Amino acid sequence: MMIHIPQVLTKDQVARLRALIDAAAWIDGNATSGAQSALAKRNEQLPEDSPAAKAAGEAILDALSANPLFVTAALPQTVFPPLFNRYGGGQTFGVHIDNSIRQSREGTVRIRSDLSATLFLTEPEDYDGGELLVEDTYGVHEVKLPAGDMILYPASSLHQVTPVTRGARTSSFFWIQSLIRDDAKRALLFQMDIAIQQLAGKVGAGAPELVSLTGTYHNLLRMWAEL
């Protein structure tokens, strides 16, 4: 299940975040790559322990915790501290799958990567190329979103970033361990929750049928959740 989450950050928040991270020192993106990814990855990255990366990451985590669509779609148990990358001058990241287990450099965060997220920090008209291509059973999906928007997709997906041939593409990327490990179950709960919210707007939150449906949602969540 791929979910587009619009306006995780406002344009003003993006501008403040970009001013912070653009002024920091960037390094070779392969500093955090596994052996397979290193063969395909050509980009720049902020060091995990960079004060700018930590401050910008905290701002993103605050925005995510206040975003109802993200919470509904991801059912997050743990969000990996956001990282930041930049592509320009033909840089690219070939086809790969993200590591199943992610651990922060300090060892303070260790998660199973159920979901991958890319939060775009550059407007699409400011660069050519740089599309995120995500493969699933329905084909290849091309993603290039406005600054402040985010795409959420299963971390088990094959994906790549096409070469950036003009300008530069700056993004934040990170992973989520969900309360619901299985993507199909998580998709069902997402669809049910959205339907409940839409129905509440039509019949009122106190309608007996809606109370029953909400109870079913929570009983499924109780049955499937891993804490």
Containing 39, the helix (H) or strand (E) segment is helix 35-40
Say what percent of the chain tops pLDDT 70: 96
Q: Using N-to-C axis directions, what is the helix angle for 183-203 and 208-224, rounded to 10°?
A: 160
Structure tokens at 13: 């928040």
C-alpha torsion sign, points 117, 122, 125, 127 = negative
Q: Are residues 95 and 206 in the same domain?
A: no
Domain that residue 112 falls in: 3-178
Q: Are residues 146 and 208 in the same domain?
A: no
Q: Are residues 59 and 10 in the same domain?
A: yes
Number of domains in the chain: 2
Q: Higher pLDDT residue, 106 or 45? A: 45
C-alpha torsion sign, points 35, 37, 43, 44 = negative
Q: Tell me the pLDDT tens digit for each residue of 178-198.
A: 999 999 999 999 999 999 999
Q: Which pLDDT belongs to residue 36? A: 58
The neighbour count for residue 56, using CB atoms within 10 Å, is: 24
Instruction: Judge whether residue 31 has pLDDT over 80.
Output: no
Containing 128, the helix (H) or strand (E) segment is strand 127-129
Structure tokens at 101: 């287990």
**Whole-model pTM?**
0.93
Q: Are residues 9 and 78 in the same domain?
A: yes
CATH number at residue 38: 2.60.120.620
Q: Are residues 160 and 204 in the same domain?
A: no
Judge contact between 3 and 117, C-beta under 8 A: no
Q: Tell me the pLDDT tens digit for each residue of 125-169.
A: 999 999 999 999 889 999 999 999 999 999 999 999 999 999 999
Residues 6 or more apart whose CB falls under 8 angstroms from that of 48 comprise 32, 81, 83, 104, 105, 106
CATH number at residue 193: 4.10.860
